[in-house]
Structure 1
Amino acid sequence: MRMDNALFIWRLEMQAHAVSSKKATNLSLSADVLVEAKRLGINISQACDEFLRDLVRRERARRWKEEHAEFIQVYNRIVETEGVPLAEWRSF
């Protein structure tokens, strides 16, 4: 298995399950979009929270990949040349 995603996805999923509290904040939104969202019954706070949560998750993942790029490159090169570590003992 390539190491591109496995470790940081696990870590981010663990963090996502942590209970978080909410904090009131002020946002500036495009008036036309806000009116249409309200007309459609979209929960603005929930939509903003979900989008920001996803944006934060993707940015953390991008930074994790960037910070660990050298290790990932070396590990993947080893897997390509030598195969998966301990593969000879796999039972599946």
Structure 2
Amino acid sequence: MHAAEVIKSIRKPTNLSIDSALLKEAKVLGINVSRSAEVGIAQAVKVHKQEKWLKENARALASSNAYAEANGLPLAQHRQF
């Protein structure tokens, strides 16, 4: 899912502090600063959620990996590659 698909919700005006030189350059280039900020924030949220999920599930992942190392993959005999 692309960030643009996620951002079809109600928009809320927000004040942001952005480097003035960067903002000026973006405007000269015709970049939609609001949309670009949304895409960047959406990406940051996605990364944060992924990291949080990995941290919360680290024990289960380690246990599963240890099992597979000790016993092999449960359905390995059915693999065709």
TM-score tier, shorter chain, comes to 0.7 to 0.9
The answer to whether the aligner puts 1:42 opposite 2:31 as a matched pair is yes
Query: How far apart in 2 are the matches of 1:18 and 1:85?
Result: 37
For structure 2, the 5+ residue unaligned runs are none
Residue 66 (1) aligns with residue 55 (2): yes
Cα pair distance change 1:73/1:18, threshold 3 Å: same
Contact in 1 for aligned 2:7/2:38 (Cα 8 Å)? no
Cα deviation for residue 90 of structure 1 reads 4.0
- What does the per-residue CA deviation read over 1:13-58, in whole Å, with 9 as the maximum and x for residues that have no partner? 5xx9667412221111111110011011111011100110000000
How many residue pairs match? The answer is 78
Name the Cα RMSD after superposition: 2.1
**What TM-score, normalized to structure 1?**
0.72
Q: Who is 2:45 aligned against?
A: 56
Q: Is 1:30 aligned to residue 10 of structure 2?
A: no
Q: Which runs of 5+ in 1 are unaligned?
A: 1-12
Whichever residue aligns with residue 36 of structure 2, its letter is: A
> Over alpha carbons, which structure has the higher Rg?
2
Q: Hey, what does 1:7 align to over in structure 2?
A: none
Q: Which residue of structure 2 lines up, in the alignment, with residue 10 of structure 1?
A: none
Verify the 8 A CA contact 2:26 2:33 in the aligned structure 1. Answer: yes
TM-score (norm: length of structure 2): 0.81
Change (3 A) 1:17 1:75: farther
